[in-house]
Structure 1
Amino acid sequence: MKHPLSTKFDIISSLDSRIQWLKLTFGSAIQNSYCCFYPGRLLDEIYSVLDRLKTQQSFSNPCTLLQETRDMSSMAIEHFREQIKPKLQSIRITSLTTIRNNVSTFSTTINNSLSHHHKRSTNGILRRQIDILNNRIYKQNFVIKSQKYQMKYYKHLLHMRTKSLIDHHRRLKYLEKKSKESEQILLEIRKDNDTLLQRLDQFMLAYDNISTEINNKKSDEIFSQINTNLKRRKID
């Protein structure tokens, strides 16, 4: 069983093949602007078939619907090949000759105008080149001035930093000198402390010896007194 739209598809395919055949016949002439349209009566017939495809759902005999289109397209193609195409070729040759003549005339005119205005154009070109060079020189001078200003700024900055480094160096030397003096004072204090400690040790040693001697003398005196007392008691 055929699809309900198969008949419409066949009609549209036939129309497309006819249009493509017309395009092959008329296309080159249309692209070269020798003619700008298909035959109007044939286009009307094609639009009539398309309108019937939109409004009518079924077709009992599709061949009769396209018969007029086939006949008219065949007649248009035959008429174009026999009557119009040879004339278009002769028109093309004539137009090419005219174009060549116009081009040669135009080139001659251009050459004359160029020779007449050669000096003016040369002066204009020289002026433009001079303006371009002046503009470049101005830009280059501006760049040089900016670089000089930057160099001056960096020199000033370098001078300030150098001065700061010199001040730091002087201060560092002063601190080193003070540090050496402080170390010398500390050494002297240590020597004095060592001397005092030695004297203190000697004093303590002498004190111990003296205290020992005193204690020994006291003990001897006490023992002698005790012995004396004991002897007295015995006598009594």
Structure 2
Amino acid sequence: MNSRLISTRRGLSAGFVFAAVLASVAPAGAAEQATRIPAPAYAASASVGAPQTVVLAGGCFWGVQAVFQHVNGVTNVLSGYSGGSKRSADYEEVSTGATGHAESVEVTFDPKVISYGEILQLYFSVAHDPTELNRQGPDEGPQYRSAIFVNGDDQRQAAESYIAQLNASGAYRRPIVTEVAPLMGFYPAENYHQNYATLHPNSPYIAINDLPKVANLKRLYPDVYRAEPVLAPIAAASK
């Protein structure tokens, strides 16, 4: 993430500005190749009552957070770190690539509106490229790896089954390299990382790398797209 420019500007109507800039951006680069992929054949058997969470890593957390903030049924998305210790869950340390952490997002969703399987479908289709090993776009290193940090056997089986299904289907020209690992902890990132893409839609990094992902979500999955993003409460972040 060292290639990214950190801006401290805050808009009074962040959601409106984001939508206006999004409307003017055409998908570019790898994001332009995004296609709708088959839904998972295996469905996790978790209860559809209480809210559920899933922790996903797919490169810079700014863009992954932005995608899921525009998904119906998602009630909160936090940027953070997973895969390493609590002590090393710090942006500067994680950026060295030596902590075991991946930049991740914790997605909280209502299973009565959207399923875990549908969350994975969006993750593999528009949130990132699951065939890139230890990198996404301009960002390189294990902290940008593709990973699903699963909470329990149901999530693990659903993720592994879906990866096998997508590889067998030929949906991608290269094998999926997504790591499926047990969730040992999720640590919210510093406050200035939360809602970053929504607050800074004019940032060159966001315009080039992240707005096309949200545009692809709207184009490929209009049935789940929501125009107004659900914003993470800054107070929820620990730093």
Q: Please confirm whether the aligned pair reaches a TM-score higher than 0.5, indicating the same fold.
A: no
TM-score norm. by structure 2 comes to: 0.19
Q: TM-score, normalised by structure 1?
A: 0.19
Structure whose residues are more often helix by fraction: 1
Which structure has more strand as a fraction of its residues?
2
Question: Larger relative contact order (C-alpha < 8 A, sep ≥ 6)?
Answer: 2
